[in-house]
Amino acid sequence: MMQTKNIRIAAADLLGWYSDFGVDEALDADPIDRIALAKLKAQTGSAPKPAPVVQEQTAPVARTPAPSRPNVNIQASGEAAIATAREAAKAANNLEELHEALATFEGCGLRRTAKNLCFSAGNPDGRLMLVGEAPGRDEDIQGIPFVGRAGQLLDKMIGAIGMDRESVYIANSVYWRPPGNRTPTPAEAAVCRPFIERQIELANPEILMLLGGAAAKSLLDTTQGIMRLRGRWTIFTAGGKEFRTFPTLHPAYLLRQPGQKRLAWRDLLAVKTALTEKTD
């Protein structure tokens, strides 16, 4: 009796710990065919353990080699999805059409676990465009980028250089929330990339700021970390147009490492100076 109680307390503690770290979905990295598992359970009367057990029990006794994981097909379907994304993004003549194209785009697996598509926030005519990583929990619920804690800090950051959501345009390099707020995979980033490229091209900002390593790596197509990339001007090209681009630290990182705010402040001042110089 006492032991059961202790196990319950330990399980509740563990769940609490996961929840504190933002884990709110019970998902695995690899898909599990739960229909097959349920059928198997009905046949055998016991619940098999996920992946390995399915292979054990469904494979015939005299085995032909189990089909290797279909990497080639996954890759092919990934490439097909990227090709579809490119076509859909290119066909969009304005931001509304791009939003509609994304709303019907099935090529990104994240849309299956997300509640909402998060397309943009702020003013599409703003001189400054900010691109973050991916929606989090609050963004997923509201369908708007940067409305949670990181978004509140972002508002303060842009407020510090005299701007607000009326004067900046905000989007993410991935449009749906990754389960548990994990970093988007390279495949997820790649399939969203034609859309964010087109979004930047159509919004046509004077300056583009990339918030954090995931956005910077995906859009600048580099493996360099944000600490190397931040604080330097670079060029991002979309649809044949060149955009002055400045990578900086992500507000969520600054919430965890407030000591680094001085670097972000330096970056914001550089962007403010560039905007002011252009106006003068």
Interface with ligand URA by CB under 6 A: which residues?
132-136, 139, 145-146, 148, 150-151, 172, 252
Nearest residue to 154 via CA among 217, 248, 270, 22: 248
Best CA proximity match to 231, nearest among 196, 274, 190, 189: 274
Closest CA to 154 of 273, 274, 255: 255
Q: Closer to ligand URA by CB, 133 or 155: give it.
A: 133
CB of 250 to ligand URA, least distance (A): 6
Both structure tokens of 60: 């015939």
What are the strands of the beta sheet with 207-211, ordered from one edge? 121-122, 168-172, 128-132, 207-211, 241-248, 234-238
Nearer to ligand URA, 84 or 142 (CB): 142
Nearest distance, CB of residue 251 and ligand URA, angstroms = 7
- Could you say which DSSP state residue 109 is in? T
**Concatenated DSSP letters of 185-217:** PHHHHHHHHHHHHHHHHHH--SEEEEESHHHHH
Least Å distance, CB 120 to ligand URA, is 10
**Residue 5 Cβ, how far from ligand URA at the closest point, in Å?**
39
Please say which residue, 40 or 217, places its beta carbon nearer to ligand URA. 217
Q: How far is the CB of 241 from ligand URA (least distance, A)?
A: 24
- Kindly state the smallest distance separating residue 268's Cβ from ligand URA, in Å: 17
In this structure, which long-range contacts are made by residues 20-27, counting pairs with CB atoms below 8 Å and at least 24 apart in sequence?
22/136, 22/137, 22/180, 22/181, 23/180, 24/137, 24/180, 25/113, 25/179, 25/180, 27/113, 27/179, 27/180
Nearer of residues 120 and 197 to ligand URA, judged by Cβ: 120
Secondary element (H or E) of residue 153: helix 149-159
Using CB positions, name the residue nearest to ligand URA: 132
